[in-house]
Structure formats: C-alpha cells, structure tokens
Chains A and B, each alone.
Chain A
Amino acid sequence: MVDNWGFIAVLTLVAFTVPLIGLALSWLLRPHRPGPIKQTTYECGLETIGDSWVQFKVQYYLYALIFVLFDVETVFLYPWAVAFLGLPLFALVEMVIFLGILAIGLIYAWRKGALEWV
C-alpha cells in the first residue's frame, strides 16, 4: 500500500519539477531587454480596456455550482463501480434511480435555460 502512494509521491515530484526546469532554463537562456511596449498586458494582441479586477457574470457561479453537484455524483460512482462484481442486480437498479433523479435536475436546468449563456 505504501509503495502505491510512493509512486504517487514520485509522480507529484516529477509534475512539479518538469515545469520548474522549463522555467529555470528559459530564465537562464533568455536575453533581458525590457521595453515599455513589451511590459504591457498581452490580451490577444489588443489593447486592454479598464481594470482586470471587475465583477464577473453570475453565470460562471451557476456553472460552478452545477459542476460541484455532478462532481459529488461522480464520487458516488467510484465505490459502486469497485464493489459492482460482488453485488446483486439490485445495485444496478439503485444506481439507475440515483442517476435518474439527478438527470431530472439536469433536464430542469436545461429547460429553465440555465445552461445557456446570456
């Protein structure tokens, strides 16, 4: 068991090291000649307008909330899938009901236009 987590620890280290190597190499190799135009904010090549710290649309929050709910739903799928082979057919029916009830919520969100960007 501890070996399995050891692999994850090694992978985490690699995941942090690789981008750091890239950043360090470019920091070592790049020429340093800043200019007033180079130091402006890059936004698709256009001049930026106004402050970047502005109030965002409520739609983002709604999307995040729907995401959290379906994230929690996914969490319940894991133990069900792992234990599936040792379970009776009733377990499949239970999961279909579980997903069905949440599908009602998705249909509700769809019908109310919550998934549309306005």
Chain B
Amino acid sequence: MSQQTVVQLVFGVMAALSLGGAMGVVMARTVFVSALWLILSFVGVAGLYITLGAGFLAVIQVLVYVGAISVLILFAIMLTEDVMGDEHPNNGQVGLAIILLTPLIFLLGKWGFTANWPVKAAAILPRSGLSVDAATAAALPGALKTGDAFLVPDSVAYLGRVLMTEHFLAFEVVSVVLLVALVGAIVIARD
C-alpha cells in the first residue's frame, strides 16, 4: 500500500468514527448514552487532526476533550435530576429534519468538493509539520524546503518558541482567564 492509500484509509476510519459518534449522540435514547457517544466522536476528530499533520492538536484533543470535557459533561448530566432516567428525548421530527438537512448537506458537500482550498502539499502526512516563511525557517533548526514553502517538522517546538517569545503576553493572559474561570466556578457552585 502506498503512503497516500494509508492516509486515505486512516481518514476514512476517523471520519466514520466522528460521524458515527455524532449519529450516536442524536440517536441515543438517554442523554447519558449520548455523552458516551460524544467521546467516540471526539476520538475520531483527534484522528482527523493526525491525518492533517497536527499531532499536537490531536494530543490536546484527547487530553482536554476526551479526558476532561467529557467527564465534565457526564457530571453535568448526573447533576441534573430531571434529565437522569428520562428516556426517549426524540420529539418525532426525524422526517422533517431529513427533508431540511438533505439539501444543506448536498450544498455543503458540493461546495466543499469544488471550492479552491489553499492546501499546501506539505501539510499532508507523512511530512507533517508547520509551514512558515523563509525568515522564520532560517531561525529554526531542521526546517525543510518543500516547493516555495518552508516546513518545520517539529511544530510543538515551534509553538513553544513562538508562545514564549512573540506571544508571551497572550500566554500570561491565558493563566488569568483560567484563574477567573476557576474562581467563578467556585463562587457559583458554593451558592
């Protein structure tokens, strides 16, 4: 099998996982089971990030969404008394939804296949990484020249570097945002 075939195969499996998980979310009879299906969908999206060459983003997706956000959602459902045990949230409008959504999906698909995406060939596996301009590439070790773009193979190191030098203020503001979220959560939960 060629590399391209493997990537297409992985993409197919991951797309099926994320779409199948999303189907499970809307089809499940209890909200709790819906949340479990959502975790499967998150895993599929992480796989899609890998096929796009964004390995670090995939790791974040697993760590934050699969690991933390889904637990938060499950706890939120377990806290809501009315939702627990309430089966059949389906409101019987499946037919209407299909009629309304089929043209939308068709149009989105048509647009997606015909649109002129600014895809850089370098951004696809196996040579995953981050494409940068020539000046940035000169400052970073191991930057590869692919066509007219420069590719940094190790995008995590690049991200860390940019975060610590150019965007250090934004980086520190993130900690303040997290602090506000923490304090706010405690204040609301204690009332």
Contacts and interface: CB of A to CB of B under 8 A. Distances in A.
Given A1-B127, A97-B175, A108 B186 contact: yes
A113 B9 CA distance: 51
A82 interface: yes
Given A60-B75, A87-B165, A79 B175 contact: no
A75 interface: yes
Given A1-B153, A65-B72, A79-B56, A87 B164 contact: yes
B172 to A, nearest CB: 6
Interface in A64-81: 64-69, 71-76, 78-81
Interface in B125-169: 125-128, 141, 153-154, 156-161, 163-165, 168
Contact of B178 (A62, A73, A78): A73
B68 A91 contact: no
Interface residues of A, number: 51
Interface in B174-191: 174-176, 178-179, 181-183, 185-186, 189-190
Interface in A28-87: 51, 53-58, 60-62, 64-69, 71-76, 78-84, 86-87
Contacts of B164: 80, 83, 87, 90-91, 94
A2 B178 contact: no
Interface of A: 1-3, 5, 9, 51, 53-58, 60-62, 64-69, 71-76, 78-84, 86-87, 90-91, 94, 97-99, 101-102, 104-106, 108-109, 112, 114
Interface of B: 3, 6-7, 10, 50, 53, 55-56, 59-60, 63-64, 67-69, 71-72, 75-76, 78-81, 84-85, 125-128, 141, 153-154, 156-161, 163-165, 168, 171-172, 174-176, 178-179, 181-183, 185-186, 189-190
